[in-house]
Amino acid sequence: MERVDVAVVGGGPGGSSAAWEAARHGADTLLVEKGVPRADRDDPGPDSTDAAGMLDYWVDIMGLDPSEFPDDVVLQRIEDAEFHGPSESVTLDGTGIDASYPSMGYTFHRARMDDHMRDRAESAGARYRVGDGVRSVEADADEAHVLELATGETVAADRLVLADGPQRAVTGDVLDQFLPDDVGDRLSAKRANHIAYQEYRRFPPGLFDEDTLKFWWGHMPGETAYPWVFPNDGRVARVGLTMPIDLDLDAVEERGAYALLDAADDRVPRGGEYVRRLIDREYGPQGYSVEDFPVVEDRGKAGGTETYPISSTRPIESPVGADVAVVGGAMGATSAFHEGGYHVAVRTGREAGRLAAQGRLARYNDAWRAAVGTELLRNVAFADIVEDYGPPDWDRAFRTASAMTNASPDENGLLSLSPSAGVAGLEYYLRYKAHRFRNRDGRYVQLRESEYHYT
């Protein structure tokens, strides 16, 4: 049986960052990745599906300098973002949070970025086994963790980092070994995740906004459900959406208020249909049809499209008493509000890898909270505020936001208070402060380390 200091399950941003930190701190490190094919990648790799945008202050959380990436990773520098409600809109040219990056952010090629992260980890000495997934893990708080691979081989590891994404195919089974049955049910994929879908489409000349992100809120039903347009390169943009899994359309109130629903819909439209309706609604009045935005079939997972789960829940603490750390999407660290999580996956992976190499994983829960706790608290507070929003609520929010953006930013970034915002602005500001206070001291965590049992 092969024996290593640190085993990492999953080769995405969290896993590769953990492997990099563990290896460069001297640990014998093995990363195991099952590997999936993509149309825009030569070899199998991690399930690299994401809208793939990076905001300015996320760069600092991630701790990686974009100028050091390969030239084909960063696609566009983003100068502003448009947020559209049913009838009100607001445009922001920054997050309002202090950051070193000189513009609002950038879009990037997720698969190339993941491949760069792998190259960096291997250069530090980490070993990769791609195409050889983990069949099971026998986790042990007192002895080495034993991983059974798809080949039938076994690997023993003193410390284990779980980075297998929001579906938690391996993570769930490992955590179940330390949890009562009823606790583990909280982490089921359908309860903890959203589903996302996107298409790579080539825009007509003059319609491709190369430096602008676009979001539509209150246009489709479901908690934090929204479509987007993210610019890529060469007039290609990612047009996609996120929505809850298994949403029951019959339970949706005021269905007629959602612009992307039709009266004849007897179930939630599929992702591709939502995309077609969005394009028709936004660009049809200008004389364009969906056929003027062809799908670029050599992009994405296959045929220019991709579907993927994204974590949309609160984070969990790890069973560090058993020398196990959970990072990134597997720990629910991506935003419950906007589902952006590459930066948090990288940072939590880095913290876990460093501490695993040093034999100090017992400090991991404190370390990730110190590194990204403010970000997670902010996202949970926003998610709580908009949980029950319908179309009129989004219009009111954007109308108020237009007034609030005149303020000098405080530590809350976008939700700063301006006198011109009036009573509505004060209401939003106080609600946000109340939700932050309610979730203070780690109350935003849905699974505590104290709930694990090691005997």
pLDDT in tens, 219-231: 999 888 899 999 9
Please name the residue that has the structure tokens 């190499």: 357
Which two structure tokens, joined as six digits, stand for 361? 């994983």
The answer to whether 69 touches 224, Cβ cutoff 8 Å, is: no
Least confident interval from 238-242, 332-336, 350-354: 332-336
Q: Per residue in 373-398, is it b (16+ CB within 10 Å) or e — as a string?
A: bebbbbbbbbbbbbeebebeebbbbb
For residue 346, count CB atoms less than 10 angstroms from its CB and return exposed for 0-12, middle for 13-18, buried for 19 or more: buried
Q: Could you tell me the pLDDT band of residue 189, with boundaries at 50, 70 and 90? A: low
Query: Amino acid identity, residue 110?
Result: R
More confident residue, 171 or 401: 171
Alpha helices in 405-445 (DSSP H): 422-438
The answer to whether 426 touches 295, Cβ cutoff 8 Å, is: no
**First-last CA distance in the chain:** 25
Does 336 have pLDDT greater than 70?
no
pTM: 0.91
Least confident interval from 231-245, 325-339, 393-407: 393-407
Which two structure tokens, joined as six digits, stand for 78? 């983003």
What is the per-residue pLDDT for 407? Answer: 46
Interatomic CA distance for residues 117 and 325, integer angstroms? 19
Comparing CA positions, the residue from 230, 246, 250 lying closest to residue 195 is 246
Give me the numbers of helices (H) and strands (E) for the chain, helices first please.
Answer: 11, 17
What is the per-residue pLDDT for 402? Answer: 74
Average pLDDT of every residue of the chain: 87
For residue 310, the cross-strand partners are 194
Q: Could you tell me the pLDDT band of residue 300, with boundaries at 50, 70 and 90? A: confident
Which two structure tokens, joined as six digits, stand for 259? 């612009």
Does 355 have pLDDT greater than 90?
yes
Kindly give, in sequence order, each residue whose CB lies less than 8 Å from that of residue 282, ignoring residues fewer than 6 positions away: none
Interatomic CA distance for residues 188 and 199, integer angstroms? 27
Interatomic CA distance for residues 182 and 317, integer angstroms? 17
More confident residue, 131 or 418: 131
Does 186 have pLDDT greater than 70?
no
What is the per-residue pLDDT for 228? Answer: 94
Which two structure tokens, joined as six digits, stand for 365? 């829960």
Does 422 have pLDDT greater than 60?
no
> How many CA atoms within 13 Å lie on the side-chain side of 235?
10
Comparing CA positions, the residue from 337, 320, 311, 319 lying closest to residue 165 is 311
Please name the residue that has the structure tokens 């960096």: 120
Interatomic CA distance for residues 344 and 446, integer angstroms? 17
| Total Cβ atoms within 10 A of residue 61 | 18
What is the per-residue pLDDT for 1? Answer: 86
What is the per-residue pLDDT for 165? Answer: 87
What is the per-residue pLDDT for 409? Answer: 45
What is the per-residue pLDDT for 405? Answer: 58
Least confident interval from 57-61, 157-161, 249-253: 249-253
- The secondary element (H helix, E strand) that includes residue 155 is strand 154-162
Mean pLDDT of 112-131: 95
Interatomic CA distance for residues 162 and 327, integer angstroms? 6
Q: Where are the domains of the chain?
A: 2-76+99-190+311-380+443-451, 194-309, 387-438
More confident residue, 319 or 311: 319
Q: Could you tell me the pLDDT band of residue 427, with boundaries at 50, 70 and 90? A: low
CA distances from 370 to 63, 257, 356, 393, 395 (A): 14, 42, 17, 34, 35
What is the per-residue pLDDT for 116? Answer: 95
What is the per-residue pLDDT for 297? Answer: 94
The answer to whether 332 touches 16, Cβ cutoff 8 Å, is: no
Q: Does domain 2-76+99-190+311-380+443-451 have CATH number 3.50.50.60?
A: yes
Does 416 have pLDDT greater than 50?
no
Give tens-digit pLDDT for 203-218: 999 999 999 999 999 9
What is the per-residue pLDDT for 419? Answer: 43
Which two structure tokens, joined as six digits, stand for 56? 């300015």
Please name the residue that has the structure tokens 């974009």: 66
